[in-house]
Amino acid sequence: MKKLFFLWIFILFTPFMIQAQEGDFQAPDYEAIQKKMTENPNLYPSIEARFLRADFSLTEEEINIFYYGKIFRDDYSPYHNIEWTKNIRTIMTSDQVKRSILKKELKNINKSLSEYPVSIESLFIKYVICLELYGQGSTEEQQSKFQLVSIMKAIAYTGDGESMESAFYVTHVPDEHSIMQLAGWSWKQQSLHENEGQYYDRFELEENEEGLEELYFNITPCFNALSNLFSESSSSESEYSNRIEIPLGTRVTLRLKEGEKGTFQATIIDQKPFSGEIGEETFSSENDPDIVELVFAQVKTNSGREKVVLCAKSFNDNALSFDSFIQYRGKKEFESTSNVGWYPKARMHEEWFPGIVKIRLENIRIMER
């Protein structure tokens, strides 16, 4: 399978790069797309059904509606992602894979695509499996290639990623990483920027053949979706609880209220999407003993590996303990995980491997000496 890697890149990414270099870019007209979908409620479901069966008659306009119109659907998720099973890792890294494994994972990927068909990551894995299972030029390989390239071309029409003005427009944050991986680009740092009401992820790239130093993605729909989610949940901010749940990619400020026997309840007084590097400037210089500031995000470490981290700064005068639980992608249950606690005005750090989507904190209390 590894021997085919550069063939995949050539077949799939060359059309994307050619389109991105032409320079005649056009940002998606979200208002016009929403109007069309409102006037014709069957438009999006019809396009989606045709895409899933790889209807080659789909036009570029219809693909554009399909990808960018997803933000107006009830099932839209800016962070929807798939969990890489052991079999998928084997398929993507091994020279030879049993056909039984390929067939099993193709069914799983098709199920994932039926639930969220605009994921570049899922579409790419499907293409790899079809190429290995049925061969280049087969109906299955051609259909899966059409699906993947169609989405990538729609994104390429929006920009080349070299600046905010020509950023790639994405509606699905994991697509940023998929695009960079397909292009063979590695990144050193990520940061979130705002300009005139638009939000951008900026990636500082490692040295590459194209000579690109940075790459921009317009993630405004993703940011707005998370902001709306947070504003909806803020209605209970005045209510204190002994349990707080924090989704991945979030900066949270908690206010604590001391109860009996050294226990605390907490309420969220500020919650915002977070992307980028975590440093001292991430946290305020608050001296309010009732405040704890938290960042729960996926970041890149100095060694280049991606980690999920929980960084916290507590302004309470006491060392605090709490119980913590993590939820993995695709799982409903939370699993218990250890923590070192929070110490007065110290920046605390926990980390895990990627795949976690939410953390839950319970039973905050004064640490026993």
Q: Per-domain residue ranges for the chain?
A: 2-160, 237-366
Antiparallel, parallel or unpaired: β 250-258 and 263-273: antiparallel
Antiparallel, parallel or unpaired: β 198-205 and 243-247: unpaired
Proportion of the chain above pLDDT 70, given as a percent:
87
Give residue 288's pLDDT: 87
Please give the average per-residue pLDDT across 190-203, as a whole number. 85
pLDDT digits (tens, 9 = 90+) for 32-85: 999 999 999 999 999 999 999 999 999 999 999 999 999 999 888 887 767 677
pLDDT at 233 over 70: no
- Measured between alpha carbons, how far is 297 from 212 in angstroms, rounded to an integer? 26
- Pair 179, 160: CB distance under 8 Å: no
Q: Which two tokens stand for residue 92?
A: 């993507």
Q: Please give the residue that has the higher pLDDT: either 243 or 16.
A: 243
- Measured between alpha carbons, how far is 260 from 29 in angstroms, rounded to an integer? 55
- Pair 244, 266: CB distance under 8 Å: yes
Residues whose CB falls within 8 Å of the CB of residue 159, separated by 6 or more in sequence, listed in order = 20, 25, 27, 165, 166, 167, 168, 169, 216, 218
Q: Which two tokens stand for residue 236?
A: 């209970």
pLDDT at 5 over 50: no
Give residue 52's pLDDT: 96
Instruction: Give strand pairing partners of 191.
Output: 202, 276
Q: Please give the residue that has the higher pLDDT: either 127 or 79.
A: 127
Average pLDDT score, the chain: 85
Please give the average per-residue pLDDT across 342-358, as a whole number. 88
For residue 18, which amino acid is it? I
- For residue 288, the 8-state DSSP code is -
Confidence of residue 365 (pLDDT cuts 50, 70, 90): very high
Please give the average per-residue pLDDT across 300-308, as a whole number. 71
Give residue 368's pLDDT: 82
Give residue 6's pLDDT: 43
What percentage of the chain's residues is helix, strand, coil (to nearest 5)? 40, 25, 35
Question: Other C-beta atoms within 10 Å of 4: how many?
Answer: 14
Please give the angle made by the CA atoms of 161, 163 and 169, to the nearest 5 degrees: 45
For residue 110, which amino acid is it? N
**What is the three-class DSSP state of 40?**
coil
Q: Please give the residue that has the higher pLDDT: either 231 or 269.
A: 269
Confidence of residue 274 (pLDDT cuts 50, 70, 90): confident
Find the range with the poorest average confidence among 13-17, 91-95, 301-305. Answer: 13-17
pLDDT digits (tens, 9 = 90+) for 311-325: 999 999 999 999 999
- Measured between alpha carbons, how far is 37 from 43 in angstroms, rounded to an integer? 6
Q: Which two tokens stand for residue 194?
A: 């705002």
